[in-house]
Amino acid sequence: MLSVFRLAFVLLALGVVPPALADEGQDASTASEQRPLGLAQSMRQAGAAFEAGDVEAWVQHTERLHELRPYSQDFMRHLVLGYSQIGETSRAFNMMLAMQQQGLSENWDDFEELESLRQHRLYEHLNSLMREAGEPFGQADEVAVLEGVAMPEALALDSTTDRLFVGTVRDGRILVRGPDEQEWTVFAQPSEHEDLMAVMSMAVDVSRNQLIVATGAVSQFRGYRSQDAGRTAILRFDLESGELVRRHRLVPDGRSRLLGTLTVASDGTIFAADSITPSVFRLGPDDESPRLFFGHPNLTSLRGVAVSSDDARLYVADYDLGIFVVDAQDPNQAWKLAVPETLNEGGIDGLYKWENHLVAIQNGVIPQRILRLALGEDGLGVVGIAPVAAALEQFDTPTFGVMNGSRLVFLAGSHWQYVDARGRNRGGQLPPVSILSADVDSPEVMVVGREILERLRQQSGEGN
């Protein structure tokens, strides 16, 4: 069976959060708030059943966890192991097939619990495919390597000058480098601007010649003080001089807040996602402070945000629940993005709009990868899936980036896993972080269109 450590690690990592949102297509703003908060209870029950050696009960509670978090690769893996142990061979293979069709990678030979499945030819077929899914795929050019830069988190690009900006959590600095330069220089830093703390997200507003920065007090920030907890703001810097043009502090409302990601609409409206209390704030061109725009108690952890080309729709990635669509004018109109069963939406950090596509940086599944998602005409559903890159050598929890034409320029690594709660190295030097550029419109990108999706659905019935 799974080790107690592995199960405990999964439960601890997920934490206690509300249940999954309503089914695809249901209005997120009207999803029932009376639904039982079953995630924490199911985790406790699964843990108790596991420790008691009651595999059937463990499977039953894990099925509930999978229902609440359908994109969790851990829960899917646990179900394969559980089904195998209770003799549910077809269900074990069906789950393996679902994972394989979602492009997930596993080496099932690592699990002795699957001995009963290895006598079947289908086992080796699926195991081989899923091992191959973990091999490097796609092309990405290395733009720069950040060495000696602690906790880079934000990236922005000035398309008029090709200057690249990097924002850091640890020092709260914003670095800049021109296209023909090898060295980074300091564009802005906390010693010059008291409102500048950990830099969480950035975007260049070319029309207004500004660098827009989301910043906040996190314990990993070197200048963190306990009295600063909850401070977060949006800052505007002049692109040429680096001078602070305007600050927009979030008005305290008694809740923990951190504006973690932002995007800018064509009229200058800024949408920023709160990464602590899941919600989206809106800052209009004439507003003094960001105002609460959208939220729901069932959301868990908001990451990337992107706005449609016509500014009509806002796309928001929830790390556990996938992508949601919000009417940019009426937040009461919000839906779960409709997606095929072959798309696993778990673990999306960065989310970007390119033509009629979404581009997602996905680090919460194996393999870590970049996906291009073709949207239908109404923008409410995915009609095509294209993996751009996966499991590249430089990938070490890729996080955020910026679109430059058809190229995604992004941070290929992160330092969160290498530091403690105060931002101190857990041991040794922090590894360098590569900045990569990948063409999401490359002819080498494999597209899974409607016909192939239908064929995959038909194949799923052959796994019985």
User: What is the predicted pLDDT for the residue at 173?
Assistant: 98
Domain ranges within the chain, ordered by starting residue: 4-133, 141-458
Instruction: Find all residues with CB under 8 Å of 142, minimum gap 6, and list them.
Output: 394, 434, 435, 436, 437
pLDDT in tens, the chain (464 residues): 333 223 332 332 333 222 222 222 333 333 333 333 578 899 999 999 999 999 999 999 999 999 999 999 999 999 999 999 999 999 999 999 999 999 999 999 999 999 999 999 999 999 999 999 999 999 999 999 999 999 999 999 999 999 999 999 999 999 999 998 999 999 999 999 999 999 999 999 999 999 999 999 999 999 999 999 989 999 999 999 999 999 999 998 889 999 999 999 999 999 999 999 999 999 999 999 999 999 998 899 999 999 999 999 999 999 999 999 999 999 999 999 999 999 999 999 999 999 999 999 999 999 999 999 999 999 999 999 999 999 999 999 999 999 999 999 999 999 999 999 999 999 889 999 999 999 999 887 766 544 444 554 555 454 44
User: What is the predicted pLDDT for the residue at 440?
Assistant: 97
390, two tokens: 């996966």
Instruction: Find all residues with CB under 8 Å of 59, minimum gap 6, and list them.
Output: 79, 82, 83, 86, 88
Determine the longest span between alpha carbons in the chain, in angstroms: 68
**Quick one: CA torsion of 289, 290, 291, 292, rounded to 10 degrees?**
-150
User: What is the predicted pLDDT for the residue at 402?
Assistant: 98
Beta bridge partners of 305: 316
User: What is the predicted pLDDT for the residue at 454?
Assistant: 56
110, two tokens: 């690592």
b/e per residue, 10-29, with b = 16+ CB within 10 A? bbeebeebbbbbbeeeeebb
53, two tokens: 């050696």
User: What is the predicted pLDDT for the residue at 15?
Assistant: 33
CA angle 408, 409, 410 (to 5 degrees): 110
DSSP state of 424: -
The fold for domain 141-458 equals: Neuraminidase (2.120.10)
Nearest to 197 by CA among 260, 137, 246: 260
pTM: 0.88
The Cα–Cα gap between 284 and 350 comes to: 23
The Cα–Cα gap between 179 and 431 comes to: 24
The region, left, alpha or beta by phi > 0 then psi within -120 to 50, assigned to residue 160 is alpha
The Cα–Cα gap between 464 and 453 comes to: 19
User: What is the predicted pLDDT for the residue at 455?
Assistant: 52
Distance of CA 379 to the CA centre of its chain: 20
Instruction: Find all residues with CB under 8 Å of 205, minimum gap 6, and list them.
Output: 211, 212, 264, 268
Distance of CA 17 to the CA centre of its chain: 17
Distance of CA 74 to the CA centre of its chain: 16
Beta bridge partners of 27: 335
The Cα–Cα gap between 219 and 229 comes to: 8
User: What is the predicted pLDDT for the residue at 462?
Assistant: 45
Amino acid found at 2? L
154, two tokens: 């934000």
Alpha helices (H) in 53-88, listed in sequence order: 55-68, 73-85
376, two tokens: 């239908």
User: What is the predicted pLDDT for the residue at 447?
Assistant: 66
343, two tokens: 């798309």
* Burial grade of 417 (CB within 10 A; 0-12, 13-18, 19 or more): exposed
58: number of Cβ within 10 Å: 27
Dump pLDDT digits (tens) for 256-306.
Answer: 999 999 999 999 999 999 999 999 999 999 999 999 999 998 899 999 999
Total residues found in the chain within this entry:
464
Amino acid found at 416? W
Task: Supply φ then ψ for residue 371, to 5 degrees.
Answer: -120, 145
User: What is the predicted pLDDT for the residue at 161?
Assistant: 95
Amino acid found at 94? N
3-state helix, strand and coil shares in percent for the chain, rounded to the nearest 5:
25, 35, 45
103, two tokens: 């492009």
The Cα–Cα gap between 438 and 310 comes to: 25
DSSP string computed for 9-58: HHHHHH-S-PPP-PPTTSBGGGS-TTS--HHHHHHHHHHHHHHHT-HHHH
User: What is the predicted pLDDT for the residue at 2?
Assistant: 35
Instruction: Find all residues with CB under 8 Å of 10, minimum gap 6, and list them.
Output: 74, 75, 78
